[in-house]
C-alpha cells in the first residue's frame, strides 16, 4: 500500500475523531505532491498555488463527512487535477475573448484610409496561420455570445467588441456599474461552459 495514502488516511481518521491538529498536518502532507500536479498542468507556480488553495478549500469542507478516508489522497489528487484543467480552460476562454476584441480592432484598423498611421504600421497584421486561428476562435466566441440571454449578450458585446466601460454600459442600459459587472462575470462563466461544449472538450480523470 502507498505509504503516503496510508498516512493521509490516518490523518483524516484522526481529524474525524476530534484531533483538530490533524487538519494542518493533512494540508502540509498534501501540499508538495498536489502543487507538483497543479504546476505540471498549468506551468505557472503562482497559478499552481491558486489551484492548490482553491482545491484544498473545497476538500477541507468535505473532511468531517468523508466516508472513505482511504480514498481521500486519491480524491485530493483528482480534485487538484480537475481544478488545474479548469484553470487552463478559463485561460483559453479569456484568450478567445481577447482574440474577439483584437480581431475587431484589426478590422477597424484595416478600414482606415491607406496611408494612415495604423494602416502603415509594420507587424500590425497577423500571418495567414495566425489569422486562421484567430478567426476560428472568434467564430466560436461569437456563436457562444449569440447564445447568451439579455442583458448579458448586450453587455458582453458592448464591453468586448465596442470596448465600453462599466459606467458607459450602465448608462446605456439604465442600470448600475455594479450590475453590469455582475452580469459580465456571470456571462464569462456561461461563455466558458458554452465554449467547452462547442469545442467538444472532454476531461477524463
- Give me the sign of the Cα torsion angle 194, 93, 203, 37: negative
At residue 148's C-alpha, the angle toward residues 188 and 81, to 5°, is 35
The whole-number average pLDDT for the span 112-128 is 45
pLDDT of residue 138: 67
pLDDT of residue 59: 87
CATH number at residue 175: 1.10.10.10
Verdict on whether the full-model pTM lies above 0.85: no
Q: Are residues 15 and 110 in the same domain?
A: no
Residue-by-residue DSSP string for 88-107: HHHHHHHHHHHHHHHHHHHH
* C-alpha–C-alpha distance, residues 41 and 141, integer Å: 24
Residue 94 domain flag: yes
Q: Are residues 43 and 138 in the same domain?
A: no
The whole-number average pLDDT for the span 61-71 is 90
Place of cell 464569462: 188
Q: Could you read off the pLDDT of 43-61 as tens digits, one per residue?
A: 888 888 888 888 888 888 8
* C-alpha–C-alpha distance, residues 81 and 41, integer Å: 8
Q: By residue range, what is the domain housing residue 48?
A: 3-88
Q: Are residues 112 and 83 in the same domain?
A: no
User: Domain boundary residue among 35, 69, 88?
Assistant: 88
The whole-number average pLDDT for the span 102-129 is 47
* C-alpha–C-alpha distance, residues 49 and 35, integer Å: 7
Tell me which of 11-25, 72-86, 145-159 is least confident.
Answer: 145-159
User: Domain boundary residue among 49, 71, 88?
Assistant: 88
List, in order, residues 6 or more apart from 119 with CB less than 8 Å away: 109, 110, 112, 113
pLDDT of residue 121: 39
CB count, 10 Å around CB of 182?
14
Expressed in angstroms, the distance from the first to the final Cα of the chain is: 21
Q: Is the pLDDT of residue 29 over 70?
A: yes
The whole-number average pLDDT for the span 3-31 is 86
Q: Are residues 122 and 189 in the same domain?
A: yes
Q: Residue 36: pLDDT band by 50, 70, 90 thresholds?
A: very high
Q: Are residues 76 and 119 in the same domain?
A: no
Q: Is the pLDDT of residue 13 over 90?
A: yes
Q: Could you read off the pLDDT of 167-193 as tens digits, one per residue?
A: 889 898 888 888 888 888 887 777 776
Amino acid at each position: 500500500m502507498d505509504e503516503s495514502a496510508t498516512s493521509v488516511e490516518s490523518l483524516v481518521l484522526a481529524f474525524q475523531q476530534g484531533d483538530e491538529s490533524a487538519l494542518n498536518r493533512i494540508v502540509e502532507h498534501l501540499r508538495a505532491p498536489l502543487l507538483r500536479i497543479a504546476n505540471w498542468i498549468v506551468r505557472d507556480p503562482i497559478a499552481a498555488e491558486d489551484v492548490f488553495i482553491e482545491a484544498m478549500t473545497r476538500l477541507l469542507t468535505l473532511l468531517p463527512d468523508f466516508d472513505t478516508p482511504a480514498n481521500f489522497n486519491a480524491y485530493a489528487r483528482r480534485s487538484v487535477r480537475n481544478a488545474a484543467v479548469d484553470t487552463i480552460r478559463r485561460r483559453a476562454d479569456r484568450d478567445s475573448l481577447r482574440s474577439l476584441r483584437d480581431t475587431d480592432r484589426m478590422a477597424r484598423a484595416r478600414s482606415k484610409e491607406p496611408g494612415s498611421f495604423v494602416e502603415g504600421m509594420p507587424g500590425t497584421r497577423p500571418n495567414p496561420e495566425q489569422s486562421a486561428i484567430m478567426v476560428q476562435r472568434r467564430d466560436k466566441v461569437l456563436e457562444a455570445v449569440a447564445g447568451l440571454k439579455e442583458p448579458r449578450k448586450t453587455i458582453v458585446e458592448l464591453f468586448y467588441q465596442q470596448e465600453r466601460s462599466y459606467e458607459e454600459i450602465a448608462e446605456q442600459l439604465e442600470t448600475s456599474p455594479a450590475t453590469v459587472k455582475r452580469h459580465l462575470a456571470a456571462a464569462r462563466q456561461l461563455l466558458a461552459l458554452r465554449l467547452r461544449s462547442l469545442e467538444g472538450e472532454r476531461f477524463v480523470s
